[in-house]
Amino acid sequence: MEHFKYVGKSVPRVDANVKVTGEARYTVDIAFPNMLWGKLLRSPLAHARILHIDTSKAEKLPGVKAVITGKDTPFTYGVTHMDQKPLHMNKVRHVGDAIAAVAAVDEETAQEAVELIKVDYEELPAVFHPLDAMLPGAPVIHEGVEGNVAARPSYENGDVEKAFAESDYVFEDTFETPPIAHVCPEPHVCVAKWDHSGKLTFYVSSQMPSLARTHFANFLKMPESRIRVITNYVGGAFGSKTLSRFPIEFASVILSRKTGRPVKFQHTREEEFHYSTLQFRFVITVKTGINKDGIITGRHFKAICECGGYVSHGASITSVAGALQGVLYRYKNYKYDGYAVYTNVPYGGAWRGLGNPPVHFAGEAQLNMIAAEIGVDPLELRLTNATHAGDTSATGALVRSCGLSKCLEKVAEEIGWKEKRTNPRPNHGLGIACGVHFTGIRLPTMPDTDFAEAKIMVNDDGSVNLTTSCVDLGQGSNTVLTQIAAEVLGIDMDRINTIYGDTETCPMEWGTRASRVTAIGGMAVKKASENARDQILRAAGEKLEINPDDLELKDNKVLVKGNPSIHMSISEVARFNRYRENGQAIMATNHWDAPSHGNISSAFSFGAKAIEVEVDPGTGRTKVLRVVVANDLGRAINPAGACGQIEGGVHMGLGMASTEEIMLNEKGGMANNQFLDYRVLTPLDMPPITPILVETNDPVGAFGAKGIGEMALIGTPDAFVSAVHAAAGVWIRKLPVTPEKVLLAMKAKK
């Protein structure tokens, strides 16, 4: 193992001080003296034709500066399907669909004006579950979309039917995962501000500021250079601030242009729960053929994804889940049928792990059911079928590094898998599950792009300004990227200023998403740093009259290898290089194209989770006693940060497993859009978590790194459900595992 000075160290976050003091400025903090506040009029009906919109009363309200409707926003958009409009004039397809927007001198006036807008509707029959939506005669949500199925992503390798026919056992089970919210501490928020030269500055809490610029340049037919998108610090995103555009964004841009004043829109917590995209509801049927030796002979997933009123990420997520599930095991015969289905609920989006948490849940829970059924240790069952480095998956993915078996063994060992299963305590149970996720992604349903960029300037004093295409969403990427640059350049971290989140000066990005920042964004930083390093070594070589190959960078100095008494500070080199005749500044740029062409991803991060649960037989209440998580993250650039990701992932995973669910009222609106009703686990609810970092030194990630952000979550509900079964003897196939469900299942079993 190499010896690194910064890489692999749990250094404190570079933004720790400004964050703990409350000084860090988020988009919610943006305010201008003459700023207007905007509000949307949203549909109270889940499905209706709009007959008439009357904004006249709203326009006359004192303090209202402008009211707009769909006439002012003639744009169509979407992630894969261009089926969305910012403001609807003809039809609404879910409760909360936006119809009009107001800009007023304050938030209260804007809200008052919204309530003065009169809309005449012709209500239409609505449908709130994808299975209902697929039935013959179901309401047609988008004209021409047969059976409300918007997309049918599928994978097939081998012949599953033949495999099933030849298998010792065949199992088929159906699972359901509910819609879940992201619950970002900072809700979706934006401020648009035009200047008199016709330039737009757009402050938005976003994972993809460059894409926001591209989108609005297209919508407004403006050069990208005349749009500046600034993210500031981002208070959580979890996928909800990626490729989706939001009605508030269009409304702020258009209302600001119309009024000549900055206009701010910010989701209320109620809006944020239901209208900021959500994790899609999935109904998944898994059919598995298996032999007595535990080898899976074939597997067929049918995954029905409830898009809601618009496709949004529905098609791509349904596709991703099929692609990735195919990478987990050595499936000889594999089939995946995805259905992205319209219903009349608010549309979903990217949510940590995309479709993998639900589809893995179904696959892994069923595997545990099979293990119980055929009397095989679920750990052994997984090890028997697990993917290994060098494999090419049933879905065509080349796996360059793989710590799956090691992760499984590690969590089993750490939780005491064998001992505890041999001597089970009453009402206690262990569950295990594993998973795989990508590090960046390249799929036919998405733009064929998976790059990151970075720019470096070495200052005269040997300090560095590093500009990255990646946005720090709170996950700590700026710290990791600074570590990478420090490692390559031999420059102290506190001399490196890592800058991000401003499209005017930062290079273009393809998003802080898809668990790609450390490995791919980090590689752009590494390559740019290497370029700068080479310039430093060349200049120092000229000055010292020594071959650059015999020089190295360390402790802010250029040293002669093996003779460190001969040295120059990097500052001296930078100044020598800039101020000599025909001098040059040490500046470098890099565009790193992830080597994922022809592959699903450039790298696959694997992981396993073991969970111990106690179930109260009297109430059905579950208590998680311990979660052990092993993640193959290639290389831990910042182990503390990686462990933080694991804790966050488990937190969301346990929420998905046990408490979180968006519930609808009879109108199709959200019944529990308050923190009191929507049950996010609190710190007091959290069990002890033991993170284990498995390093496989991936050949293509920065310093061997692979993603971790999403894999940290995947598998949690699967292991949880299996632990509940081990403790209580019942299988809960529909998340979340509430005490009520456990109790009813236990009663039914009796």
* Binding residues vs a copy of itself (CB under 8 A): 14-18, 20-21, 23, 195-199, 214, 217, 223-226, 448-449, 451, 453, 455, 457, 459-461, 463-465, 467, 494-497, 499, 502, 504-508, 578-579, 581-585, 587, 589, 591, 593, 597
Q: How far apart are CA 636 and CA 626, in angstroms?
A: 23
Alpha carbon distance 436, 99 (integer Å): 41
Which tokens in the block code for residue 327? 């990478």
Q: Is the Cβ of residue 159 or residue 530 nearer to a copy of itself in the bound state?
A: 530
Please tell me the distance from the alpha carbon of residue 624 to that of residue 579, in angstroms, as a whole number.
64
448 vs 545, which CB is nearer to a copy of itself?
A: 448
Q: How many CB atoms lie within 10 A of CB 667?
A: 14
Closest CB to a copy of itself among residues 199, 421 = 199
Q: Which two tokens stand for residue 689?
A: 């978590």
CB of 229 to a copy of itself, least distance (A): 12
CA distance linking residue 669 with residue 680, whole number of Å:
19
CB of 539 to a copy of itself, least distance (A): 12
Q: Are the beta carbons of 190 and 27 closer than 8 angstroms?
A: yes
Q: Which class for 187: exposed (0-12), middle (13-18), buried (19 or more C-beta within 10 A)? A: buried
Residue 530 CB, nearest approach to a copy of itself (Å): 16
Q: How far is the CB of 221 from a copy of itself (least distance, A)?
A: 10
At its nearest, how many Å lie between a copy of itself and the CB of residue 581? 5
Nearest to 514 by CA among 238, 251, 158: 238
CA distance readout (Å), 483 to 196, 473, 692, 710? 41, 17, 21, 22
- Quote the crossing angle between the two packed helices 716-728 and 739-749, to the nearest 10°: 40
| One-letter amino acid of 203 | Y
Closer residue to a copy of itself (CB): 242 or 672: 242
3-state helix, strand, coil in the chain (%, to 5): 30, 25, 40
Distance between CA atoms of residues 158 and 497, nearest Å: 52
**Least CB distance to a copy of itself at residue 15 (A):** 7
- Nearest CB to a copy of itself, comparing residues 197 and 565: 197
Could you tell me if 131 and 147 are in contact, meaning their C-beta atoms sit under 8 angstroms apart?
no
324: nearest Cα among 722, 597, 711: 711
In the complex, the smallest distance separating the C-beta of residue 592 from a copy of itself, rounded to whole angstroms, is 10
Comparing CB distances to a copy of itself, the nearer of 347 and 451 is 451
Nearer to a copy of itself, 165 or 585 (CB): 585
* 629 in Cβ contact with 434 (< 8 Å): no
Least distance from a copy of itself to the Cβ atom of residue 114, Å: 29
Joined together, the tokens standing for residue 705 give 């790194």
Cα gap 78→446, rounded to integer Å: 12
How far is CA 308 from each of CA 149, 312, 441, 656, rounded to the nearest angstrom?
11, 9, 24, 19
Minimum distance between the CB of residue 454 and a copy of itself, rounded to whole angstroms? Answer: 10
- The CB-of-588 to a copy of itself minimum distance in angstroms stands at 8
Decide whether 216 or 347 has the Cβ nearer to a copy of itself.
216
- Residues with Cβ within 8 Å of 240's Cβ and at least 6 positions away in sequence, in order, are 182, 184, 188, 276, 277, 349, 350, 351
Which residues make beta-bridge pairs with 122?
Answer: 49
Q: Write down the least CB distance from residue 389 to a copy of itself, Å.
A: 23
Q: Give 392 or 584: the residue with its C-beta nearer to a copy of itself.
A: 584
Q: How many CA atoms lie within 13 A of 28 on its CB side?
A: 15
SS3 31: coil
For a copy of itself, which is the closer residue by CB, 75 or 451?
451
| Measured CA angle at 429 (ends 427, 433), to 5 deg | 155
Nearer to a copy of itself, 21 or 90 (CB): 21
The residue among 57 and 578 lying less far from a copy of itself, judged by its C-beta, is 578
Nearer to a copy of itself, 17 or 76 (CB): 17
CB of 502 to a copy of itself, least distance (A): 8
CB 373, min distance to a copy of itself, A: 47
User: Quick one: 15 or 616, whose CB is closer to a copy of itself?
Assistant: 15
Say how many Å lie between the first and final Cα of the chain, rounded: 56
CB of 296 to a copy of itself, least distance (A): 34
